[in-house]
Amino acid sequence: MINLEVWLYGPLARYGGDAATPTHAQLLLQVPEGTTVGDLVKQLGIPLEEKGITFINGQLSDMPGLAADLERVLEDGDRIGMFSPGSMWPFQYRLGANMAPELQEKLEKREQGSLHHSYKAGQE
């Protein structure tokens, strides 16, 4: 088993069960080794279309509509922050964000190019 610290912000807080507040939920979870972000999202009951900006250990790992990090295997002690697609992300991350390799790869393969000011669920 591994330990995770999961923060759900905004509308996603409702998936935090007893830990939910109107603005966020902090969950301390134990999950089996080999658990992926996709497994975690399923375990929490979060529909993929509601998963937006995601950070793992302070590194941007996903953005709305890209599903770039679903196969990423989580490690003991990881801290995951998930926001809904409508959440604005901090301006300091918009340019030069510390991105996970899988997100960089996904963005490079986009027909429209890299970052845009807005995304729609399912847009690739």
Cα–Cα distance measured from residue 93 to residue 87, given in angstroms and rounded to the nearest whole number? 13
- The Cα–Cα gap between 7 and 28 comes to 9
For 2-50, the pLDDT digits (tens) are: 999 999 999 999 999 998 899 999 999 999 999 999 999 999 999 999 9
The average pLDDT across 70-88 equals 92
Domains of the chain (ranges, CATH numbers): 2-109 (3.10.20.30)
Confidence of residue 117 (pLDDT cuts 50, 70, 90): very low
According to the model, what pLDDT value does residue 105 have? 79
Residue 63 near residue 122, CB atoms below 8 Å = no
State if pTM tops 0.85: no
What's the chain's average pLDDT? 83
Q: What span, in angstroms and rounded, lies between the C-alpha atoms of 11 and 8?
A: 8
pLDDT range class, residue 113, cuts 50, 70, 90: low
pLDDT at 73 over 70: yes
Integer angstrom CA distances of residue 114 from 11, 51, 96, 103, 111: 27, 19, 12, 10, 9
